[in-house]
């Protein structure tokens, strides 16, 4: 499997772990020094911080998403992925689903022979409910 295929495989495994609520699998796919950026939020630093935030989110919401990969670029042991993402979060306690949509730019690093998420800039905004 070439590097680009490995990134696509990573994204498929990330989606499966997200839908399953598998926090441990997601954390293992992140570099310990991963950085997550979201509009209006302070930077989230570290795989542990991401895991804690995801654990809180999945306790409150059922999460589903669709992703369209626009571009994958490989440069040695670094890779980038630009994607369009639509996330639907349905409150577990009941209520209307909430959607956010927009672009993401994710950077990966190959460490010890495996790709890890290193940086993620998530530019999703709320989709108005109709």
pLDDT, one tens digit per residue, over 101-115 is 999 999 999 999 999
Is the separation of the CB atoms in 103 and 85 below 8 Å? yes
Strand-strand pairing, 114-122 and 30-37: parallel
> Nearest-5° angle of CA 34, CA 32, CA 77?
70
65 pLDDT above the threshold of 80 = yes
SS3 129: coil
The total of other beta-carbon atoms located within 10 Å of residue 125's CB is 11
Q: Which of 99, 88, 114 is nearest to 19 (CA)?
A: 88
pTM: 0.93
List domains and CATH numbers for the chain: 3-126 (3.10.450.50)
Residue 130 has pLDDT above 80, yes or no: no
Q: Can you tell me the distance from the alpha carbon of 27 to that of 24, in angstroms, rounded to the nearest whole number?
A: 5
């Amino acid at each position: 499997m070439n590097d680009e295929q490995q990134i696509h495989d990573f994204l498929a495994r990330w989606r499966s772990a997200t839908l399953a609520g598998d926090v441990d699998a997601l954390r293992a796919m992140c570099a310990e020094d991963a950085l997550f950026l979201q509009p209006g939020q302070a930077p989230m630093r570290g795989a542990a911080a991401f895991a804690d935030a995801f654990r809180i989110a999945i306790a409150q919401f059922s999460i589903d998403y669709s992703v369209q990969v626009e571009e994958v670029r490989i440069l040695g042991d670094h890779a980038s992925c630009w994607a369009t993402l639509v996330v639907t979060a349905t409150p577990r306690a009941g209520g209307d689903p909430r959607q956010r949509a927009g672009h993401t730019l994710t950077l990966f690093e190959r460490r010890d022979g495996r790709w890890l998420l290193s940086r993620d800039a998530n530019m999703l905004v709320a989709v108005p409910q109709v």
